[in-house]
Structure 1
């Protein structure tokens, strides 16, 4: 007959051990979101500079990822903004302009839903490949995230950069999974520090 202790040890599988270790490590690592600002204070902080606004592209038509065989050079083959998303993008630009936020640079993923968000919100943008989605191919994630972390680390204290990108990219860099149209604000420098989040703009 097995003792209760033997039964407990047999149930303590390698998978459970890994899970428990992950919980312990998570508790030991300080959260990058511990000191998030209120939205009003966050807008004032953004206007001061030394920040990156990581914007998840605005609302799209329903779906996950992109249709099979999509082509970055052909927007019609991709999952794109719907009418609400286009209004969201315009509302984001208006909200930041009213708060006195004038971006130094607007950078975007090459996906059309990101470029359209950037264009509608800010009027112009430059494509930065490191912001491209790696949803379909995670092998590029470490290099892309490292490049963004390095860029954040050397951002000038007067700069306000906007990075229009995808959920997976924001999650990898900032540990945050935003809704479409939501903005995650990062402080310049290292380590990566989340100052707060701007909710989806209401058109």
Structure 2
């Protein structure tokens, strides 16, 4: 009993985070669904999915689960921005909550493939410059989310961040379907 009481404050009610996302006061940034492996093969070509790690059947199922979770939270449509990597684009497409716009600042910079500092600045500025409208969902990579938030998300895990974004954004909730 004492252990249960000690753990109770750690259990967060995400109601306010979801409300903020619905009302345009927050953004959901998530790591692509399951794509087994680490990094990309030496033959990696951004324009050829067959040369990249990509979602497996479980990853596609995970990505589709976002649609139901978002609908439960009152979000049936969103503005969706994705890394150009196939595993991110395919996660965003499988979510089926809106057209997917490729956004290079969300591209991976794992292993020196990009410029993490610049891309993080561009992500912050770009999100803050968005007009009001549907909720915003960003699909990206672990390194991008960790650099922005300090959170190390699992595959298919999302983080709801308070707007406006800053170099130290407020994490409202960690969520996953």
Give me the TM-score of the superposition, normalised by structure 1.
0.74
The question of 1:177 aligning with 2:177 is answered: no
Q: 1:196 aligns with which of 165, 173, 177?
A: 173
Q: How does 1:36-75 map to 2 (within 5 A)?
A: 38-61=13-36, 63-75=37-49
Give the 3-state SS of the residue equivalent to 1:136 in structure 2: helix
Q: What is the distance in 1 between the residues matched to 2:141 and 2:87?
A: 9
Mapped contact 1:133–1:168 kept (Cα < 8 A): yes
Counterpart in the other structure of 1:89:
63
Mapped contact 1:42–1:195 kept (Cα < 8 A): yes
Mapped contact 2:67–2:76 kept (Cα < 8 A): no
* CA deviation vs aligned residue, 1:35-71 (integer Å, no higher than 9, x gap): x95234432332222221101000112x110111211
Q: How many residues end up aligned between the 2 structures?
A: 165
Counterpart in the other structure of 1:134:
109
Q: What is the distance in 2 between the residues matched to 1:73 and 1:138?
A: 15
Q: Return closer, same or farther for 1:133/1:55 CA change in 2, 3 Å cut-off.
A: same
Q: What is the distance in 2 between the residues matched to 1:109 and 1:116?
A: 10
Give me the TM-score of the superposition, normalised by structure 2.
0.84
Q: What is the distance in 2 between the residues matched to 1:155 and 1:96?
A: 21
Root mean square deviation of aligned Cα = 2.2
Structure 2 unaligned regions, length at least 5: 1-10
